[in-house]
Amino acid sequence: MNYCEGKLGSKYLRQSERTNPVLAGDLRRSRHTRHSDCFCQFGIRHRGKSVRRAREVFAGNEFGLGAFTVGIMILTHPERLRHYDDLWIDCAGDEYSPDGAADFCDAPYFLFSDGWVKFDAGRIDYCCDYYGSASGFLPECPIS
């Protein structure tokens, strides 16, 4: 279920400044790093932190994962989000504007409820023990 249906174009959803160059392949810091060298985590590392706080404490080689990437991870690892009590996944690599008016104050997230994986967006300063921000890591390649 998509609670953001009809509100997913560039007016509503964009990549964060830290994530965009990584996924665009703009890795000037290391010509040898490839996307296949990226390691990802589903949110445990930043469990209980707001998206804002998770972004503040990212390691030098860490970046937030966006909704597209997290969605693919859920499709390839469906066991990760099967129960209401499973950790809900904040997409800290994306920014969301609920009204499409350039105020990107939210971030998308995935949750499981009523037998379905659901997609929504919420405030980046909201924190709760059952949310965690997904992130990726580039080995030996600090992100500026």
Beta bridge partners of 131: 88
The predicted structure's pLDDT at residue 28? 47
CA distances in angstroms from 38 to 1, 10, 35, 99, 123, listed in the order given = 29, 25, 5, 33, 27
Output the average pLDDT for the chain.
Answer: 86
- pLDDT, residue 138, reads 82
Q: Can you give the pLDDT at residue 83?
A: 95
Dump pLDDT digits (tens) for 50-69: 999 999 999 988 999 999 99
Q: Please identify every stretch of the chain with a pLDDT value under 70, giving residue numbers as ranges.
A: 20-37, 140-144
Q: How far is CA 100 from CA 4, 10, 19, 95, 118, in A?
A: 11, 9, 21, 11, 21
So what's the pLDDT on residue 142?
61
